[in-house]
Amino acid sequence: MDKLNIITMGEVLVELSSTQSLEYADTLDKNFGGDTLTAAAAAARLGGKVGYITKIASDAFRDFLVGGLAAEGIDISTITVNEGYNGIYFVAGCETGKKEFAYYRKKSAAASLTEKDIDEEYIKKANIVYATGITQSLSLSVKEAVFKMFKTAKENGVTTAYDPNFHPVFWSKEEAKEAFEEIKDYVDIIFMNVHSDSLALWDIDSYDKLGSIFFDMGIKTVVIKSKENSGYHIYFSGKSAFVPFYSDVKTDSTGAGDVFNGAFLYEISKGNSPVKAAEIASVVAGLQVRKIGAIKSIPTLKEVTAAIREKNEQQQ
């Protein structure tokens, strides 16, 4: 197999969505999602070669999910099928202004991943490996698998990236912090949202302080998303920069942070600087939020290229 830009690990969820509230919706649109999978799809649509490590259950959604990942161009050679069921999440209310989420994922197929599912030779094929706190929250065995993936990557000169992506519906603040502590020595790039991550987990909202703290841990690149400042604060190589959101137009922000992460990592894997990667990723995420759905609304490379060209012409 050729070199992969990114390898990530996580859970493939069935996505059922409606623009109306769940109470009044007559129909639900079926797709698939998951935070690391959304990042993987974003990188793949830009032309990246992406590998995904997970387990999918042999239930009624098996072929839909496996086929969907293959159609996105994601390498599924390490995906195994087992008994059990696939997780489901509902997202609704985009048009009402009161977005609703409901998750049914406890003990799903992906939760049975273990460190035995981490193949060193496969990890060595990646430029970057990526995981999140949500992935770690699936089970103790998955948390151990994430640790092995990051340790294996670092031992083989592969860049590692992590997003706490903290949601109290999945686990507690204490559990999330402990999970990060276990892998922090192996992290090269960290993403976070200033409210849901840095404030919720560490009670810190100073961008410069966050950059300094993570630099002291040995993390080389820190990317902080801020709704208040409408952009991304980036710290790298003793430097700092700010990249604004692409636009104020927003229909549905589901998965936007994951899309940014996937696009950013793909650009980094190509050799672009963190600032250049963030500028391109901002456009990708900015286009994605104009439509409804996490993965189905991710733009293609052609759409991103056209948007960047238009943006550059407007700035001239």
**What CATH number should be reported for the domain holding residue 290?**
3.40.1190.20
Give the CA-trace dihedral at 103, 170, 266, 1, to 10 degrees. -80
Query: Could you list the residue range(s) of the whole structural domain that residue 102 is in?
Result: 4-311
In a domain, 234, yes or no: yes
The span from the CA of 194 to the CA of 273, in Å, is 22
Environment class of 176 (CB within 10 Å of its CB; exposed 0-12, middle 13-18, buried 19+): buried
Domains of the chain: total: 1
What one-letter code names the amino acid at 176?
A
pLDDT digits (tens, 9 = 90+) for 109-159: 999 999 999 999 999 999 999 999 999 999 999 999 999 999 999 999 999
Per-residue model confidence (pLDDT) at position 55 = 96
pLDDT digits (tens, 9 = 90+) for 190-231: 999 998 999 999 999 899 999 999 999 999 999 999 988 899
The pTM for the full model equals 0.95
Identify whether the C-beta of residue 73 lies closer than 8 Å to the C-beta of residue 27.
no
In a domain, 316, yes or no: no
In a domain, 268, yes or no: yes
In a domain, 95, yes or no: yes
Q: What is the edge-to-edge ordering of all strands in the sheet holding 13-18?
A: 29-33, 13-18, 88-92, 100-104
In a domain, 272, yes or no: yes
Q: Helix-strand-coil percent breakdown of the chain, rounded to 5? A: 40, 25, 35
